[in-house]
Amino acid sequence: MPIERIALHLVNMRLVAPFETSFGVEHDRQCVILRVDADGLTGWGECPAERTCGYSYETTTTVWHALKDFLIPRLLGQPVDVAATFQLGEYLRGHNMARHGLEAALWDIVAQQQGISLSKALGGTCDRVAVGVSIGIQPSADALIAKIEDYLAQGYGRIKIKIKPGYDLEIVKRVRASFPKILLQVDANSAYRLPDAPLFEAMDEYGLLLIEQPFGWDDIYEHSKLQPLLETPICLDESIHSLGHAVLALDLKACKVINIKPARVSGFTESRRIHDLCQARGIPVWCGGMLETGIGRAGNVALASLPNFTLPGDISASNRYYTEDIAEPLFALNPDSTLSVPASPGLGVAVNEKALHKFTERKESFGHSIK
């Protein structure tokens, strides 16, 4: 049965607390939620683009445009076929978050057709995934230390802190002095350039698990100049958009770890290719996050159940992000700093239509109308 209808929802949800990175502060999370109806089944996907550029060039407006004007018209009436949809998306030359939301909704349907969980459909091998928490920039070192204490008390076994110029080495020193043993990593979100290498050499003695994306959002070359100066692994996030970028980064030894965000690399298909490449080359990966709603989170958890996701992911419990979510059940932190992988067919969470309606600022449907 062909794809009969696709609906887009522009969703806006208030975060439990503002999230500050080197590129800006977010109070509300805007994203595009996709609903695909085909074969008597409904699939859901999330495009976690932001209201403005900063993390990447994609915004909720460009996502809407790419889906409405290019992808949806070419997909309506076509069979549910993940590989063909991946191929179709290649013609966009980018717009990876838009592609991911669509592909994710199709994966949800395919897994339901097969009566298996998304995790199984993707090749997942475990029923719990190790997770940590990503903490935004705080007003002071004391405030950050208090936050870390709070998250450790909740059971998070790995802490990531955001850094930016003027809030970096001293902050790492203070945090390490307070918590000498915790699994700690930093994320610069592209705030530095190669002349800042001495700062990272100084950070090398604080036993960080990794340093995430110190240099430009699309840079690989400068990272390849920094990695040999450090013991601490560099982890690339922003600059890996495809398998080709991952090959380049590994061949140039620009990093020793890769953060895979399915939305950044166009979907689960490309995520798995990067995962397999890294596995073959002995490079650990972990699943990053984009402050997703329960829909995107369920997809990230399923992906993180693949075997080479050996470092804790940025996939925290639902209550770390929102007081009310649009999918149920909520994800809760297990005492061993893991989230459980949903086992029911498809995504394994149910969309709460009432909550979705409440948070939807704009909606548009394409194809046949379905009640």
Which of 20, 26, 37, 237 binds Mg ion (CB under 5 A)? It is 237
Binder of residue 34, out of ligand OSB, Mg ion, none (CB less than 5 to 8 A by kind): none
Options 120, 160, 225, 261, the catalytic residue = 261
With CB atoms as reference, the residue minimizing the distance to ligand OSB is 289
Residue 4 Cβ vs ligand OSB, minimum distance, rounded to whole Å? 32
- Catalog residues that contact ligand OSB under the rule CB under 6 A: 55, 134, 187, 189, 237, 288-291, 314, 316
Phi-psi region of 77 (alpha: psi -120 to 50; beta: other; left: phi over 0): left
- Give bridge partners of residue 328 from the DSSP assignment: 350
Per CB under 5 A, the segment of 65-73, 182-190, 272-280, 330-338 that binds Mg ion is 182-190
Pairing of strands 234-236, 257-260: parallel
Q: What is the DSSP string of 284-342?
A: -EEE---S--HHHHHHHHHHHTSTTB-S-BS---GGGT-SS-SEESPP---TTSEEEPP
Shortest distance, position 83 Cβ to ligand OSB, whole Å: 28
In this structure, are strands 133-135 and 158-162 parallel, antiparallel, or unpaired? parallel
The residues with which 30 forms a beta bridge, in sequence order, are 12
CA distances (Å), 154 to each of 142, 150, 246, 304, in order?
19, 6, 34, 21
Comparing CB distances to ligand OSB, the nearer of 97 and 203 is 97
Near Mg ion by CB under 5 A, which window of 15-23, 155-163, 236-244, 304-312?
236-244
Q: How far is the CB of 325 from ligand OSB (least distance, A)?
A: 13
134, interface contact from Mg ion, ligand OSB, none, CB < 5-8 Å by kind: ligand OSB
Q: Which of 46, 50, 187, 270 binds Mg ion (CB under 5 A)?
A: 187
162 tagged catalytic: yes
314 binds, among Mg ion, ligand OSB, none (CB under 5 to 8 A by kind): ligand OSB
Give the range of 10-18, 98-106, 231-239, 359-367 binding Mg ion by CB under 5 A: 231-239
Which one of 68, 162, 181, 354 is the catalytic residue?
162
Q: Is 261 a known active-site residue?
A: yes
What is the nearest approach in angstroms of Mg ion to the Cβ of residue 130? 17
Q: Does 108 bind Mg ion (CB under 5 A)?
A: no
Cα Rg of the chain (Å, integer): 20
Select the span of 6-14, 229-237, 250-258, 296-304 touching Mg ion (CB under 5 A).
229-237
- Number of shown-chain residues binding Mg ion (CB under 5 A): 3
Q: How many degrees, rounded to 5, is the angle at CA 11 between CA 38 and CA 44?
A: 25
Concatenated DSSP letters of 173-237: HHHHHH-SSSEEEEE-TT---GGGHHHHHHHGGG--S-EE--S-TT-SHHHHHHGGG-SSPEEES
H/E element, 365 = strand 360-367
Instruction: Supply the residues annotated as catalytic.
Output: 162, 261
